[in-house]
Amino acid sequence: METKKTSVLNTLIFLTVTLMMTACHGKASMPAERAEGDTIVMRHARNLCLIQHADYTEAVIRNPWDTTQVLSRYILTEKGTRPNEAEGTLLKVPFRKAAVFTGVHCALLQELGCEGAIGGVCEVKYIGIPYIQKGVKEGRIADLGNGMAPNMESIMDLQPDVLMPSLFENNSGYGRLERLGIPIVGCAEYMETSPLAQAEWMRFYGRLFGKGTAADSLFECIEKEYMTLKEMAMAVSEKPSVISELPQSGKWFVAAGQSTSGQLYRDAGADYAFSHIEGSGSVALSMEEVLEKAIHADLWMVKRYGAATRTQLTSEQPGLNRIAARMWLCDTQTSRYFEETPFHPEWVLKNLIQIFHPELGIESEKKYFCPLE
């Protein structure tokens, strides 16, 4: 009997979450208890739902590891008091002082014109934003240390309105951070399964800082340019075969077919060698599995921290010198690839199309990848 009740409950939860998320894509009505709010249609994001009520905005985050469950629910209000019917973590917005754990979100806030609300950051040495580096040096922005184990004393001294760490499957509880009593907004856009879905989360982050309209407009421009570029690349009949990355300790981690990288390669008009692999993250393959396809590839796209020559890279593992594909390297130490591209996929898409299809004559202002001879 107990098993039957549990099964029914799980089914109800699944249907409620599904209806809610489907409504955010304009394909169904909201459940009755949320009918008083107007759904803000999300055109690409699958794990985020925004609902505008009379005096607050409701943000619902679906658990990306178990999509039948709601991971977080936030109530965004300027009044700072909880509306009677609202359930979820209360957030008094706009935030004036935030502890931002990643350079990705720092870059977005700067672009939206609210960099002044960045009170503290983690992993300073990996943030290539001059405003942040200068702010930390002058003491205007606090250095909070390691993103996975931030300096608690520095956070308490800062007294931020919100903590914005990255969300990982094994840190659904934030341990010591939760005991501070400061609202936590877990940043999980990276778990979306398309470049535009990931970028669309800026519409949520913008609303946290009073920049909802600006974020909506920015995303609309990004979406338009991305789709225009994709359409041009899709019209090309000949598609170069592409492989990616380098092996590490005998394993070769490649982007799966439904990952953002895999989709970027396809949208740029490439025949991605591992598009058949299911999943939205990286998959570990053996050297033999990759080499079977790599020896027939036209292009080899590599992201690496630090510059290197082709000879240096191919001599690190036996068998790599069998690959004749032209190698293109993105040096993540000198470029701002990881800071810029999650919210600007059109920039890297243009760069990839320039490489894959030079015959289209597309010039990319952002040249993340450079050829290695």
Q: Per the confidence metrics, is the pTM higher than 0.85?
A: yes
Q: What is the pLDDT of residue 242?
A: 98
CA atoms of 122 and 104, how far apart (whole Å): 11
Q: What is the pLDDT of residue 21?
A: 54
CB count within 10 Å of CB 241 equals 16
- Could you say which DSSP state residue 42 is in? -
Q: Give the pLDDT of the chain (373 residues) as one tens digit per residue.
A: 545 544 444 444 444 445 455 557 654 333 434 446 799 999 999 999 999 999 999 999 999 888 889 999 999 999 988 998 899 999 999 999 999 999 999 999 999 999 999 999 999 999 999 999 999 999 999 999 999 999 999 999 999 999 999 987 554 457 889 999 999 999 999 999 899 999 999 999 999 999 999 999 999 999 999 999 999 999 999 999 999 999 988 899 999 999 999 999 999 999 999 999 998 889 999 999 999 999 999 999 999 999 999 999 999 888 999 999 999 999 999 999 999 999 999 999 999 999 999 999 999 989 999 999 8
The Cα angle at residue 49 between residues 46 and 53, in degrees rounded to 5: 165
Q: What is the pLDDT of residue 169?
A: 56
Q: In 3D, which of 121, 211, 210 has the Cα closest to residue 164? A: 121
In DSSP terms, 98 is beta-bridged to 118, 162
Q: What is the pLDDT of residue 78?
A: 95
Q: What is the pLDDT of residue 279?
A: 87
From residue 85, give the alpha-carbon distance in Å to each of 33, 38, 92. 9, 15, 17
CA atoms of 274 and 253, how far apart (whole Å): 11
**CB contact at 8 A, 226 and 195:** yes
CA atoms of 175 and 309, how far apart (whole Å): 43
Q: In 3D, which of 223, 227, 225, 208 has the Cα closest to residue 112? A: 208
Q: In 3D, which of 349, 68, 107 has the Cα closest to residue 205? A: 107
**CB contact at 8 A, 258 and 372:** no
CA atoms of 107 and 113, how far apart (whole Å): 10
Residue 261, token pair as written in the block: 């990288």
Q: Going by C-beta distance under 8 Å and a sequence separation of 6 or more, which residues neighbour residue 180?
A: 152, 155, 156, 163
Q: In 3D, which of 191, 193, 160, 198 has the Cα closest to residue 177? A: 160
Q: What is the pLDDT of residue 187?
A: 95
Q: What is the pLDDT of residue 24?
A: 72
- Could you say which DSSP state residue 46 is in? S
- So where are the chain's domains? 236-372
**CB contact at 8 A, 272 and 260:** no
**CB contact at 8 A, 295 and 273:** no
Superfamily covering domain 236-372: Nitrogenase molybdenum iron protein domain (3.40.50.1980)
**CB contact at 8 A, 242 and 270:** yes
**CB contact at 8 A, 304 and 246:** yes
Residue 99, token pair as written in the block: 């502890």
Taking only Cα atoms into account, the Rg of the chain, rounded to an integer number of angstroms, comes to 22
Which amino acid appears at position 37 of this protein?
A: G
Give the dihedral of Cα atoms 178, 42, 275, 368; nearest 10 deg: -80
